[in-house]
Amino acid sequence: MAQMGPRIAVAVVTMGNRPAEVDALLASVAKQDVAPERIVVVGNGCPLPDFGARLGLPGEVTLIEVDENLGCPGGRNVAIQRLREFGDVDVVVELDDDGLLVDADVLRRVGELYTADPRLGIVGFRIADEHGETQRRHVPRVGAKDPMRGGPVTGFLGGGHALSMAMLEETGDWAAEFFFAHEETDLAWRAVDAGWTVLYAPELLLQHPKTSPARHAIYYRVNARNRVWLARRRLPLLLIPVHLGVWVLITLLRMRSLGGLRAWFGGFMEGWRTSGGERRPMRWHSVWRLTRLGRPPVI
């Protein structure tokens, strides 16, 4: 890998409701100046057309149809497991099905980053809309205003990123139980705890329509449930009440909808009543590392 450069795959998960956007995304993959080793498209509870034959995509194209919608992390795990079975990929680039690679050198730059750092686990892309604007919530730093400031961080955006397959072997795959919301933080914390670097690389651009996470009907409930699961899974016992107390306060200050508050606190209680998976708390050394990177795991 150090001599030849990493072998890169591209994975896309879709629910079949954005056919034009998926076509455009895969066309932008086909225009990359370094062709991916493989392309995997997962139909999350939906049938798939033969993208490879229809779009003339480079590399090996694998289409996987699953019977039910497994959520973002569950669908990505399906793609990762298939790539693991192939055994010929070092890095997987995962892209939202309504995203677009504007530049033709994204995969080449990803390869250069992984070649330069053998302990690079996750590379987060910059997300910007068609006007070049990056929403503040898409900058992976507390209070960050400058989306062009890159470097090591504590989290990444699920819309566009790259993952080391070697890192996944050590940390485990996505938390499929989460379905959506906070699965990126869960994976990033595991990566940091295992000694891998999470890098925000703003030069790697994924164009993505401006959206609000609250567009999903179950957003408030799942967001709160998964935050409790995240804390219970990954934080030392002493930090669990601190983390959750901070977020209860933030939610009370931010939320303007009584219905949203009811849904959020319903999800909060669900997170305590139900299991979010195996508890594997991070080391205190990792708490300090996250703090030094600008985001202690209580905010």
| pLDDT tens digits, 14-50 | 999 999 999 999 999 999 999 999 999 999 999 998 8
Same domain membership, residue 177 and residue 229: no
| pLDDT tens digits, 212-250 | 665 555 889 999 999 999 999 999 999 999 999 999 999
Same domain membership, residue 149 and residue 76: yes
What is the torsional sign of CA 229, 234, 236, 239? negative
Same domain membership, residue 197 and residue 241: no
Same domain membership, residue 94 and residue 117: yes
Rounded Cα–Cα distance for residues 107 and 130 (Å): 20
Average pLDDT, the chain: 93
- Domain containing 28 equals 8-211
In a domain, 182, yes or no: yes
Same domain membership, residue 51 and residue 126: yes
Same domain membership, residue 155 and residue 56: yes
Q: pLDDT value at position 1?
A: 45
Query: Residue 197 carries which side chain, given as an amino acid letter?
Result: T
Average pLDDT value for residue range 50-79: 88
In a domain, 290, yes or no: no
Residues 6 or more apart in contact with residue 276 via CB below 8 angstroms: 175, 177, 178, 225, 226, 228, 229, 230, 232, 233
Q: How far is CA 256 from CA 39, 137, 138, 152, 251, in A?
A: 43, 18, 22, 34, 9
Cβ atoms within 10 Å, residue 237? 9
- To the nearest whole percent, how much of the chain has pLDDT over 70? 95
- Whole-model pTM: value is 0.94
Same domain membership, residue 222 and residue 204: no
CATH number for the domain spanning 160: value is 3.90.550.10
Last residue of a domain, one of 211, 229, 262: 211
Residue given tokens 């890998």 in the structure block: 1
Same domain membership, residue 223 and residue 110: no
In a domain, 128, yes or no: yes
Q: pLDDT value at position 214?
A: 54
Domains identified in the chain, total number: 2
